[in-house]
Amino acid sequence: MFDISMDKIVSLCKRRGFIFQSSEIYGGLASTWDYGPLGVELKRNLKQCWWNSVVHAREDVEGLDSAILMHPDVWRASGHIDGFTDPLVDCKNCKKRFRVDHLQSKGNIKKCPECGTEINLEKNPPRLFNLMLKTHLGPVEDDSSTIYLRPETAQGIFVNFINVINSRHLKLPFGIAQIGKSFRNEITPGNFIFRTREFEQMEIEYFVKPETADTAYQQWIGQRFNWYISLGIKKESLRLRPHNRQELAHYAKACTDIEYLFPFGWSELEGIANRRDFDLNQHTLKSGKQLTFFDAVENKRYLPYVIEPSGGVDRALLAFLSDAYREEEVKGLKRVILGLSKDLAPYKVAVLPLLKKRGDIVELAKKITSSLRKDFVVKYDDTAAIGKLYRRQDEIGTLYCVTVDVQSLDDGKVTVRDRDTMLQDRVAIDMLKGYFKDKIS
């Protein structure tokens, strides 16, 4: 059904140093992944693109980096301690546990995805399972020292609402953006980095006058949808899915998911919700602190509504990888290309000496590398023959390869090869910086 299988993506990620199984030498830890040298560059670029688009490119959004560990009352107020649960069923045969909403078939008779045994929900009703991971703070492990690893970054924003307003003199509408780790004891993690127990989120809480919330909600849906497209995701691989009433959280007025056509099918990439004033109201009630906004124009205090675009860094990264992966045949040989956009590509330029035994060529190639390094992420590589080096760079999405040859020593020019077209340009060494600035910056 789909051209690109997850196996191909997972294999490329391991082979080329994007993503490794966590604790692999000890047999691995289920559904936990480490980002390797290429993965960490891609992830940093992705987060920077998000930050540029929602914080630096706007006048009305400020950043935040709140602690992962928070006062347990935060989670009582937010409803996570009582309500952050997934209904689960056990398969009586293989003893595995599954989220009811992940099981195929309608009605009360489900099928175990693991062993195919019938699961009858009437005889075997689902139980609720809290998704928060617990730990203890301090030397004594009792109930009073229990704290939680945050299951979302959003609450760190709500509890800093007044701090941010007061320190930045903000007026509505304004937003607070944050990127950070979140933890959920997911029952059915899987599909590589799509659903894991430790993951990163990119969240914005955008506070508005209640009567303008519907407009802001629509604007954020458009803005976030277009962000994925601006970074190269194919439009036909993205869609919006508004939640129906049954699906909506009780406090939400509306919610729309941005879904991507992953190799395993359409799945949520990001959700944009109108959460009304639920969170600020809850924290006002629990903390006893006034979290209202003083509107100087209308001379009154009120609780703003909030629009929340909430996306996953790892899911977005998987979508960008899947979307960029392609295979071509060139002169009878298979070529794998990671067609990442120029902003996301981990390395922008690779410098390759044509003959690594020639000291003068190697020296010139290294000199070019260090001069380009001031402006671009550049890698020097002489560990294989040129054809192989090109293929490797194509697989990791490097935008351009610069080849230094014997002629370069005479005419001061190098060959620049474009990843996508494979077309080659002969460019003077002292023009290289300007050449790449035009193409990349």
CB of 194 to ligand ATP, least distance (A): 6
CB 170 within 8 A of CB 59: no
**Residue in 274, 282, 310, 415 binding ligand ATP, rule: CB under 6 A:** 310
CB 182 within 8 A of CB 199: yes
Convert residues 390-429 into a mask of x (bound to ligand ATP by CB under 6 A) and - (unbound).
----------------------------------------
Stretch that binds ligand ATP, among 228-236, 310-318, 327-335, 380-388 (CB under 6 A): 310-318
Using CB under 6 A as the binding rule, whether residue 381 contacts ligand ATP is answered as no
**Residue in 60, 268, 343, 375 binding ligand ATP, rule: CB under 6 A:** 268
Neighbours of 323 (CB within 10 A): 23
Of the two residues 262 and 347, which places its CB atom closer to ligand ATP in the complex? 262
Using CB under 6 A as the binding rule, whether residue 311 contacts ligand ATP is answered as yes
Using CB under 6 A as the binding rule, whether residue 279 contacts ligand ATP is answered as no
State how far the Cα of 410 lies from the Cα of 414, in Å rounded to an integer. Answer: 11
DSSP state of 4: S
Of the two residues 33 and 390, which places its CB atom closer to ligand ATP in the complex? 33
**Residue in 39, 180, 263, 271 binding ligand ATP, rule: CB under 6 A:** 271
Nearest to 177 by CA among 190, 186, 168, 185: 168
Of the two residues 119 and 319, which places its CB atom closer to ligand ATP in the complex? 319
CB of 148 to ligand ATP, least distance (A): 15
Using CB under 6 A as the binding rule, whether residue 184 contacts ligand ATP is answered as yes
State how far the Cα of 208 lies from the Cα of 307, in Å rounded to an integer. Answer: 8
Convert residues 193-212 into a mask of x (bound to ligand ATP by CB under 6 A) and - (unbound).
--xx--x-x-----------
Using CB under 6 A as the binding rule, whether residue 217 contacts ligand ATP is answered as no
8: tokens are: 């191909």
Stretch that binds ligand ATP, among 113-121, 307-315, 370-378, 425-433 (CB under 6 A): 307-315
Of the two residues 150 and 392, which places its CB atom closer to ligand ATP in the complex? 150
Of the two residues 170 and 238, which places its CB atom closer to ligand ATP in the complex? 238
Nearest to 273 by CA among 246, 247, 249, 255: 255
Using CB under 6 A as the binding rule, whether residue 260 contacts ligand ATP is answered as no
Of the two residues 43 and 184, which places its CB atom closer to ligand ATP in the complex? 184
**Residue in 277, 314, 382, 395 binding ligand ATP, rule: CB under 6 A:** 314
131: tokens are: 């998704």
CB of 390 to ligand ATP, least distance (A): 34
CB 87 within 8 A of CB 103: no
Using CB under 6 A as the binding rule, whether residue 31 contacts ligand ATP is answered as no
Cα-to-chain-centroid distance, residue 4: 20
Residue given tokens 């703003």 in the structure block: 304
CB of 152 to ligand ATP, least distance (A): 6
271: tokens are: 């959700």
* Nearest residue to ligand ATP, scored by beta-carbon proximity: 312
CB of 197 to ligand ATP, least distance (A): 7
State how far the Cα of 207 lies from the Cα of 197, in Å rounded to an integer. Answer: 29
Convert residues 131-170 into a mask of x (bound to ligand ATP by CB under 6 A) and - (unbound).
---------------------x------------------
Of the two residues 308 and 382, which places its CB atom closer to ligand ATP in the complex? 308
State how far the Cα of 208 lies from the Cα of 253, in Å rounded to an integer. Answer: 14
Of the two residues 318 and 378, which places its CB atom closer to ligand ATP in the complex? 318
**Residue in 270, 277, 394, 405 binding ligand ATP, rule: CB under 6 A:** 270
Neighbours of 169 (CB within 10 A): 6
Residue given tokens 């492990």 in the structure block: 141
State how far the Cα of 191 lies from the Cα of 123, in Å rounded to an integer. Answer: 30
Name every residue whose Cβ is closer than 8 Å to that of residue 316 and which is 6 or more positions away in sequence: 46, 50, 202, 228, 269, 270
CB 427 within 8 A of CB 416: yes
State how far the Cα of 383 lies from the Cα of 397, in Å rounded to an integer. Answer: 18
CB of 30 to ligand ATP, least distance (A): 13
Give the count of residues interacting with ligand ATP (CB under 6 A).
16
Of the two residues 271 and 397, which places its CB atom closer to ligand ATP in the complex? 271
State how far the Cα of 149 lies from the Cα of 436, in Å rounded to an integer. Answer: 44
Residue given tokens 């610069």 in the structure block: 402
Q: Where are the alpha helices (DSSP H) in 309-358?
A: 313-324
163: tokens are: 């701090």
Number of residues assigned to the chain: 441
The residue ranges that bind ligand ATP (CB under 6 A) are: 152, 184, 186, 195-196, 199, 201, 268-271, 310-312, 314-315
